[in-house]
Structure 1
Amino acid sequence: MTPSRLHLVVPARAESLSAVREQVADWLSSLGTPDERIGDIILVVNEACSNSIEHAYVGAAAGAVRVSADVDSQSICITVEDFGRWKTDTSKTDVSRGRGLALMRAMSSHVGLYTNTNGTRVSLTFRAPADGGDPPR
């Protein structure tokens, strides 16, 4: 039986990213997701996790990042959550930064960004492989 859900909680540290990538890739593979799609989805999930690790706990004790994934006949939904604070960008001087949300939006069907004083949640939706995947970029 293929697991329809995945739930991970990892420390908000860069060393956790490889475990997240590996476990999400294994879960996607168990669903029959083509390798190319797995690579695209992993890129987006890694970006969302990296943002949480880099920004959520600045000036505070490192917390956790939670990755939850679910699938139905229409879509693959992956949520990345942290329990820190939203980083408000006050400087636009580094033009090489700040493209993560654009990448997420370009490579998924839908991106929801929710933030409050309890943390940030990024909800990512991808068309299920049976639907032919997300539109070409």
Structure 2
Amino acid sequence: MTFPAESSRLAQVRAAPRTWLERCGLPRRAAQDVLVAAGEACADAIEHGHRHDPGGPVVLRAAARVDDLWLTVSDSGEWKTPRPEASAHRGRGPTLMKAMMRQVTVVPGASGTTVRMHTRIA
């Protein structure tokens, strides 16, 4: 799904994959982990990637095969170097994503940032 980088869209974006995950046969707990990880990646794309371009496109993709699930969140915004020391109450998105998924890769680039996440599914 493609959506504008607007925080008002996060509830819809977080809810959209729920039915798809149920059709994939994920247990409720595993589906919740995937939804949290996807929501964090999308929130970061909106808040950080598109901080200078509100409303720019963010793309959420998901794919499942047999016992693997992949999520990709891409923005077309500008990379912002993380500064966890700036606030003790912020910057937990990447930590949450890594706790919920088996593998998380963040690839910044000239045309935006892509977050790739993978987990195993039973």
Fold in common (TM above 0.5): yes
Q: 2:38 aligns with which of 41, 45, 57?
A: 45
Q: For the residues of structure 2 that align with 1:125 and 1:90, how far apart are their CA atoms?
A: 25
Contact 2:56 2:76 in 1 (8 A): yes
Q: For the residues of structure 2 that align with 1:61 and 1:96, how far apart are their CA atoms?
A: 23
Q: 1:18 aligns with which of 11, 36, 40?
A: 11
Are 1:108 and 2:108 an aligned pair? Answer: no
Contact 2:71 2:117 in 1 (8 A): yes
Q: Which amino acid aligns with 1:41?
A: V
Are 1:69 and 2:54 an aligned pair? Answer: no
Q: For the residues of structure 1 that align with 2:4 and 2:53, how far apart are their CA atoms?
A: 14
Q: Which amino acid aligns with 1:10?
A: F
Q: For the residues of structure 1 that align with 2:50 and 2:106, how far apart are their CA atoms?
A: 17
Name the % identity.
33
Larger C-alpha radius of gyration, 1 or 2? 1
Q: 1:78 aligns with which of 64, 67, 71?
A: 71
Between stretches 106-115 and 60-69, larger displacement belongs to: 60-69
Q: For the residues of structure 2 that align with 1:41 and 1:81, how far apart are their CA atoms?
A: 16
Q: RMSD of the TM alignment (CA)? A: 1.4
| TM-score, with structure 2 as normaliser | 0.92
Are 1:96 and 2:89 an aligned pair? Answer: yes
1:72-95, CA deviations, whole angstroms, 9 ceiling, x for partnerless residues?
113100100100011123572311
* Structure 2 residue ranges without an equivalent (≥5): none
Q: For the residues of structure 1 that align with 2:4 and 2:89, how far apart are their CA atoms?
A: 27
1:105-130, CA deviations, whole angstroms, 9 ceiling, x for partnerless residues?
111110011011100000010111x2
DSSP-derived class of the 1:10 partner:
strand
Q: For the residues of structure 2 that align with 1:32 and 1:61, how far apart are their CA atoms?
A: 35
- Displacement, 1:66? 0.2
Q: Which amino acid aligns with 1:12?
A: A
Are 1:118 and 2:103 an aligned pair? Answer: no
Are 1:60 and 2:48 an aligned pair? Answer: no
